[in-house]
Amino acid sequence: MDKVKVLIVEDEKAIADLLSYGLEGEGYETRIAATGAAGIREVELFRPDLLLLDWMLPDMSGLDICKKVTAERNIPILMITAKNDITDKVLGLEFGADDYITKPFDLREVLARIRSIMRRLAQANRAGEEAESESLRYRDLEIVPAERLVRKNGEAVDLTPREYDLLLHLCSHRGRVFSRDELLEGVWGYDYAGETRTVDNHIQRLRKKLEATEWITTVFGFGYKMEKE
């Protein structure tokens, strides 16, 4: 079995070396980039399965890298941040990060979070493989799990990986009401009180891109659902 490849984008050498040493000891293949520009290049060259991304880099913000990477590739991202403010953490999640960890951290926690992300990704891939023989159709939408593609009236819709995952989750359970916490756990793969705003923002973007206000509906005081046809 091929090793899981992790790209570490971190400008503090001691931290980068610690992460690389610890991950390789657990069987991962790693590569280090000390700047944002180098990190973006390595995403293309190294083709990582997961990105460990520092928030503060010397040449650009980790948020900008996160936004660029998630717009182009379906790579899970674990943000490393010295910021402990909940607003900053939510911002990272809204830009496409899958999870975050705050400095100083324990290597065991980093490993546990990576395993959790990769477990969720494997489950999503298995679900996609089971459904890949047929597309999901709903109103004027077509969802093609094998290609992670969404079409509206035959035209491809540009969704981020997390927007796609959220749409597929709702469409696969049409008529069911989900709380924000349930969506966080089912789509993002974790449960953390106080971060449900990121669900609201993703729902708003889905509604706008798909013109879906009438069928991705709010259940006031609870959460969201996709209406049955």
Domain residue spans of the chain: 5-125, 132-226
Question: What's the rounded Cα separation, in Å, for the pair 159 and 92?
Answer: 18
pLDDT: is 80 or 28 the higher one?
Answer: 28
pLDDT at 87 exceeding the cut of 70: no
Nearest to 161, CA basis, from 152, 150, 153:
150
For residue 142, list its beta bridge partners. 137, 151
- What integer is the mean pLDDT of 13-41? 94
The yes or no reply on domain 132-226 and CATH 1.10.10.10 is: yes
What are 46-86's pLDDT values in tens digits?
999 999 999 889 998 888 888 888 877 778 889 888 766 56
Structure token digits, residue 138:
């709903």
Contacts of 146 (CB under 8 A, 6+ apart): 128, 129, 131, 132
Question: What's the rounded Cα separation, in Å, for the pair 171 and 9?
Answer: 35
Burial per residue of 90-116, b for 16 or more beta-carbon CB atoms within 10 angstroms, e otherwise:
bbbbbbbbbbbbeeeeeeeebbebbee
Residue 191: pLDDT band (50, 70, 90) is very low
- What integer is the mean pLDDT of 149-164? 85
- pTM of full prediction above 0.75: no
Sign of CA dihedral 72, 56, 90, 188: positive
Q: What is the CATH number of domain 5-125?
A: 3.40.50.2300
Domains 5-125 and 132-226 share a fold: no
How far from chain centre, in Å, is Cα 134? 24
pLDDT at 113 exceeding the cut of 60: yes
pLDDT at 195 exceeding the cut of 90: no
Tell me whether the omega of the peptide bond preceding residue 104 falls within 30 degrees of 0, making it cis.
Answer: yes
DSSP code at position 1:
-
